[in-house]
Structure 1
Amino acid sequence: MVSEGTKGRFTLTGKVQEGDCSFSISNAQPADQGIYEFRIENGDTKYSYSWNKLSVSVTDLPEPTISPVGELIAGKPITLTCTAHPAPQGCKGNITWGGRINIENISNYEREDQAGKVTSISDITVTPSQREHNSPLTCTVTYSGVSTNSSITLDVQYPPSVTITVPGHNGTYENKSVAVIEGDTKLLRCEVNSNPVAEISWSRGDEIFIRTSQKRLILALENVSVADGVTYTCLARNTHGSVSGTVSVTVESLPHDKKTNHLIILMIRGLSILALSGIIAVPAVLVMRYREKRRQRQAEGNLTE
């Protein structure tokens, strides 16, 4: 019977028939720490070599350190270093890198201190791009088949890019120009991709309408007139550069025939009101004249009597 916690991990690796009783511990665990002694049981022969015991200690492997961990600039080469701290047993670490960033150059070397402990170091040269922003970079150190690693998230800074869209009846579409009917309202949306966040502004010539620091800025053109038919500019700027985008607004007034039809409709309505007033007024005048003549006849009859 053997301990359940050691099954599959504690293995005899020597040839017992030839007198080699070596064994191996794999996937070491904290519970494996302690004092071990060699014991033989063969029929009536049972003996423990308690005078020559083995002390086993289990320690966690130190995680490697990646530096620098600050800001990276798109298009600017930089050297990143992974340092594998010495293992307590003095094992040397083998360093490998993982991530989607392209490694242009790699240099592995070792440094030994006065106590004889060996530190493994790996330097890589990379030129980060906007695509690698927020992507992971991992350094893995392997000591005699056992590995430990550390990861960082790349903070790549880059200048802004601008996309101008105009929400329309058929959805949102990207456009360089837009036609607006006089009196209508139109929204001009400026989307900015940058790191760090850029300062955005909408302007017309030297006149700045609105300014903020965020990823999106919307300019609302309300009740537009012919004077609003100009080119509008969205400018985005951060510490790494600036960029602008424009949209040309054309204001369309109502066609002449529509204006004429509108005027005619107003005239017809006015004449209708006048005509209706006339129809109501004529009978009233006739009644008044009839009553006046009747009073005159009655007065003349009284004089005759």
Structure 2
Amino acid sequence: MSPLASLLMLLLLWGSACAGVWGSPAGTGAGQQPQSPQRFPVSRYRSYQLRVQEVVTVQEGLCVSIPCTFSHPWMGWVRSDPAHGYWFREQTDVLTGAPVATNNPERKVEEGTRGRFQLLGDPKDGSCSLLVRDARRQDAANYFFQVERGNIVKYNYKEHMVTLRVTDLMQKPGIYVPETLEPGRPATLLCVFPGDPEGCPSPTFSWTGVALSSQGAAPRNYISFSVLPVTPRPQDHKAWLTCGVELKNGVSSSNKVQLRVAHAPKDLIISFSLTNTSVRRLLGKDSRVDVKKGQFLRLLCAADGHPPPTLSWVLSDRVLSWSPPSGPRSLILELPQVGPKDAGRYTCRSENRLGSQQRWLDLSVHYPPENLSVMVSPANRTAMENFTNGMALPVLAGQSLCLICVADSRPPATLSWDWGKLPLNLSQSSDPGVLELPRVQKEDEGEVTCRARNSLGSQHVTLHLSVLYPPELLGPSCSWEAEGLRCNCSARARPVPSLLWWVGDRLVEGNSSNIPVTVTSISEGPWANSSLTLHEQLSLDLGLHCEARNDHGLHRVTVLQLPGSPEPGGGSVLAAALGAGLTALLGLCSCLIFLMVKTCRTKTARPAAGGPRGRSVSSDTSRGHQWKSQPGRPPDASPLAVVTSPPAVASSHLEEDQELHYASLVFRGLKPQEPQDQEDTSTNEYSEIKIWGLKPQEPQDQEDTSTNEYSEIKAH
């Protein structure tokens, strides 16, 4: 053999060895293992390479493209030699079995994959990409690629198999609808089914829905999408529209969308809950909710509208909360502790650009009476005054008074009045909360109580009615005592009066001890008492007066007035007139005594010489004389008394033949009269003359007609 022939033989043996470096030589079968790489240089093993995704998943009925590239040694072929590629299922004999896809027109493919599996690209350029159309369940398997080119390159890449998995059809068509459909305005709806428009077959599209019942235009279908023209109506709002696709093997899929047709807010509802849980109670139209003070309350408002409406809660034209258009379709208002101020009408308003809608509920908060007070309207005031529990209510005697009891409560409280501890019957009054006193008297002073009650509790307010009135002088009197002439003066008034004494034209105030006059005054409650003691002999011009005064008036009374004594603020003319009147009265009394006295024969006891002349205010006329004045005397009244003293009897043994004549003269003032007005201090007066004879003696025989007698003369 020539050296050239030996060289060619070595090259052929080397080429055959290289064909089994990275895979199985063509025609060796699936089970044959590659020859040991130790027999060949490592650089030759890398000449056969393939790059492909190991696991590919496709949904049933859809198509999938599997990208793939490969390389092989540059020997045994020229650029013009064709390159054939084959894709086989695992366990398929590459010499006798049929591939699932190939670019060799002389090689038949499997019947089940014909037309569905396609080798994409040209193996001459190193492309081994595979397209699978209309994937079926039986297509799930492992696949490998084989390349043939020239006389040497025949190789399969079993070490780089591709696993194809087929799952259920999950892909749904996508429906594209404008966000807002205007009623009566045409719009276009689009249904798209994703896929490879070049390599995959187009599905069949269909549209169904109530909104299509009045549509005249038919949909237009394309390879991977469908176009539907519509003219929405108001009633199409929230109507469902369905787009369906059907693939060649009968597998189908569909999707639906709810139409949003623009409209004004509608279907507004209000619900509430008395706890912070999700339990709610729906309210009817324009309802009322009753809750107790301090309870939890949650109000919810929801409405339908497109574009989404703005919701708001309003209380008495005051916005409490609101939601933006992009927010939730409901609005919650929470009142953690409901109070009386939360009561009122709550309105939920729903508004968008096409209109508005609103509903309301009345919230009534129930609670026991509180903030109880009495409004007082005195007769001489136009504005009412507010009085609370325990306050004093001063009012002038004779005035009218109106008391109005006011309380906050729900349900409304029942009002009643108590005077002291006794309830008042106001059945004649149309309003039990109003107490009217047409003319307040001193006897009305005391506590008045208003009571408010309802089913949840009660409350009361008590006022002290303090009746104010001018001074009233009661029974001034005088008596002789060891210290001298003592006169007492008492007055009642509210506020308590101050008592003043006038001795002649001299004013004696307060508790004082000015010789020869001593004044002592005390007061308790509405009463004021004062006593004046004169430590000197009475003069014929003595005048003694008592005066009581407070903020509401003045009352003056003459306690003792002798002839010639001036009145406080008076002149000498008045005193002279009073003296003349007293003189005339004394003359008249003397004549009457002389005419009326009869003699009585008795034994006369001798009077003790130098006997004292008593001056006592005792009712025993033999002991002295008494002066007493009543309230209401005017300062210019006539003299109250002239003091005279009869001789005292020294012995009780009287002689029968001696006649004894004596008389006692007493002048008294009027009995107490009703008090007049505040400034009027004048009173009427009268005088009384009493004439006594001797005490009656023992009766004598029937023929003896001589008796001791006495007579009484009263002058008015």
TM-score computed with the length of structure 2 as normaliser? 0.26
**Shift in CA distance, 225/65, structure 1 to aligned 2, threshold 3 Å:** same
Tell me the CA shift for residue 139 of structure 1: 3.3
The residue correspondences of 1:177-256 to structure 2 (distance < 5 A) are 177-210=392-425, 217-255=433-471, 256=473
1:76 pairs with 281, 295, 306, which one?
A: 295
2:366 pairs with 157, 169, 190, which one?
A: 157
1:64 pairs with 268, 277, 286, which one?
A: 268
Tell me the CA shift for residue 123 of structure 1: 5.0
Counterpart residue type for residue 385 of structure 2: Y
**Shift in CA distance, 36/164, structure 1 to aligned 2, threshold 3 Å:** same
1:51 pairs with 199, 217, 220, which one?
A: 217
SS at match of 2:366: strand
Query: Conserved in 2, the CA contact under 8 Å of 1:63 and 1:149?
Result: no
State how far apart, in whole Å, the 2-side matches of 1:151 and 1:173 are.
38
Tell me the CA shift for residue 249 of structure 1: 0.6
Structure having the higher helix fraction is 1
Tell me the CA shift for residue 215 of structure 1: 8.5
Counterpart residue type for residue 61 of structure 1: P
Tell me the CA shift for residue 235 of structure 1: 1.0
State how far apart, in whole Å, the 2-side matches of 1:36 and 1:101 are.
39
Query: Conserved in 1, the CA contact under 8 Å of 2:313 and 2:319?
Result: no
Counterpart residue type for residue 386 of structure 2: E
Counterpart residue type for residue 195 of structure 1: R
Structure having the higher strand fraction is 1
Counterpart residue type for residue 227 of structure 1: E
Tell me the CA shift for residue 177 of structure 1: 1.4
Deviations 1:108-142 (A, max 9, x none): xx9xxxxxxxxx655543122111222x4343457
Counterpart residue type for residue 250 of structure 1: S
Query: Conserved in 2, the CA contact under 8 Å of 1:165 and 1:174?
Result: yes
1:137 pairs with 346, 352, 360, which one?
A: 346
TM-score computed with the length of structure 1 as normaliser? 0.54
Tell me the CA shift for residue 183 of structure 1: 3.7
Deviations 1:152-176 (A, max 9, x none): 3322233322121222334322242
Deviations 1:188-239 (A, max 9, x none): 2212222221101111233111469998722123433333211111111222
Query: Conserved in 1, the CA contact under 8 Å of 2:444 and 2:465?
Result: yes
| Seq. identity, % | 20
- Is 153-162 or 139-148 further displaced after alignment? 139-148
**Shift in CA distance, 194/37, structure 1 to aligned 2, threshold 3 Å:** closer
Counterpart residue type for residue 465 of structure 2: V
Residue 409 of structure 2 corresponds to residue 172 of structure 1: no
Query: Conserved in 2, the CA contact under 8 Å of 1:199 and 1:211?
Result: no
Tell me the CA shift for residue 37 of structure 1: 8.3
| Equivalent residue pairs, number | 217
Report the aligned-residue RMSD: 4.5
Pair member with larger Rg: 2
Query: Conserved in 1, the CA contact under 8 Å of 2:418 and 2:424?
Result: yes
Counterpart residue type for residue 233 of structure 1: T
State how far apart, in whole Å, the 2-side matches of 1:196 and 1:72 are.
11
Query: Conserved in 2, the CA contact under 8 Å of 1:138 and 1:149?
Result: yes
Counterpart residue type for residue 55 of structure 1: T
**Shift in CA distance, 188/95, structure 1 to aligned 2, threshold 3 Å:** closer
**Shift in CA distance, 95/67, structure 1 to aligned 2, threshold 3 Å:** same
1:263 pairs with 622, 629, 632, which one?
A: 632
* Ranges in structure 1 where 5+ consecutive residues have no aligned partner: 1-21, 39-48, 104-109, 111-119, 273-305
Residue 41 of structure 1 corresponds to which residue in structure 2? none
SS at match of 2:341: helix
SS at match of 1:224: coil
